[in-house]
């Protein structure tokens, strides 16, 4: 194995240790020394891979966003209408965040400038690219829908994407195990479909209930659930 490959394997093991440590101690409370102990390496070795704890947090977020990208590629390979694809991508994102709760917390934390400014520039750039990529995937689904008869302007598409992503974020904040007062209504999976149905309907889309969207997107969602259940890191990193 080359030095480059060894470096990547070690970094993956460190990130797995960091994820496990954050899960047990909290997304904000874990220390580099805790991660080094779990990864069975020195703190100095950690700093050979990450310039700061915040940089390590950003790297974990990259892993989560990489999962999202893979999920989206699978969904885009399924035969769906544009609006069905749009709804499916948002639902799978909400389910990913609910399943990967610690990674979801880290994604929220890394959005704050006090944290991302302490991460490596290339890491921050990669996170921005990943966020833009998801917007582009949602936009492509709406452009596809436009070609199928759902007439929508560029401004309306941007607004619909923003509302969809806000709904995902809101659902995560209201249902996370770490939330002070979780919203019981939003813990019902069907309620999120109703929220998306309302968003699409308000954009002059089809008048449908959340349960109808669930039925139309069932194939994509079943595939997504299988992907979400896969471990964040491969077995070779354990």
CA dist., res. 181 & res. 179, Å (int): 6
Range name among 95-109, 110-124, 191-205, 221-235 with the lowest pLDDT average: 221-235
Q: Which CATH class is domain 52-231?
A: mainly alpha
Q: Where are the domain boundaries for CATH 1.10.357 in the chain?
A: 52-231
Write down the pLDDT at residue 176. Answer: 63
Other beta carbons within 10 Å of 173? 16
- The model's pTM: 0.88
What is the band of 175 on the pLDDT scale with cuts at 50, 70, 90?
A: low
DSSP-derived 3-state class of residue 120: coil
Percent of the chain with pLDDT over 90: 50
Residues 5-36 pLDDT 10s? 888 999 999 999 999 999 898 888 889 999 99
The residues, any chain, with a CB within 8 Å of residue 6's CB and separated by 6 or more, are none
Percentage of the chain beyond pLDDT 70 is 91
Residue 140's pLDDT is 96
User: Among candidates 188, 194, 187, 186, which has minimal Cα distance to 211?
Assistant: 194
Cβ pair 156, 203 in contact under 8 A = yes
- Share the mean pLDDT of the chain: 87
57, 121, 131, 164 from 124: Cα distances, Å:
11, 5, 11, 23
Q: Is the pLDDT of residue 164 over 70?
A: yes
- The string over 47-67, giving b where at least 16 C-beta atoms fall within 10 Å of a residue's C-beta and e elsewhere, is eebbebbbbbbbbbbbbbbeb
Mean pLDDT, rounded, for 53-82? 91
pLDDT at 143 over 60: yes
Q: What is the tens place of the pLDDT at every residue in 179-205?
A: 555 555 555 667 888 999 999 999 989
CATH 1.10.10 residue window(s) in the chain: 1-49
Quick one: fold of 1-49? Arc Repressor Mutant, subunit A (1.10.10)
């Amino acid at each position: 194995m080359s030095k480059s490959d060894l470096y990547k394997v070690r970094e993956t093991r460190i990130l797995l240790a960091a994820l496990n440590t954050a899960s047990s101690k909290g997304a904000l409370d874990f220390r580099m020394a805790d991660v080094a102990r779990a990864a069975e390496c020195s703190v100095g070795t950690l700093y050979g891979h990450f310039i700061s704890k915040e940089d390590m947090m950003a790297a974990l977020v990259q892993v989560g966003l990489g999962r999202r990208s893979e999920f989206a590629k699978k969904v885009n390979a399924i035969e769906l209408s544009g609006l069905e694809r749009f709804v499916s991508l948002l639902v799978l994102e909400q389910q990913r965040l609910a399943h990967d709760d610690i990674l979801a917390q880290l994604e929220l934390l890394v959005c704050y400038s006090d944290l991302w400014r302490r991460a490596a520039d290339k890491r921050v750039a990669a996170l921005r690219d990943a966020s833009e990529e998801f917007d582009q995937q949602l936009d492509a689904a709406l452009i596809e829908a436009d070609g199928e008869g759902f007439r929508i302007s560029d401004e309306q598409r941007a607004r619909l994407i923003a509302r969809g992503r806000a709904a995902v974020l809101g659902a995560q904040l209201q249902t996370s195990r770490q939330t002070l007062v979780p919203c019981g209504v939003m813990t019902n999976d069907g309620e999120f479909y109703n929220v998306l149905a309302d968003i699409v309907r308000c954009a002059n889309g089809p008048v449908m209930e959340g349960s109808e969207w669930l039925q139309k997107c069932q194939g994509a969602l079943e595939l997504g659930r299988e992907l979400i259940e896969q471990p964040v890191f491969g077995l070779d990193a354990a």
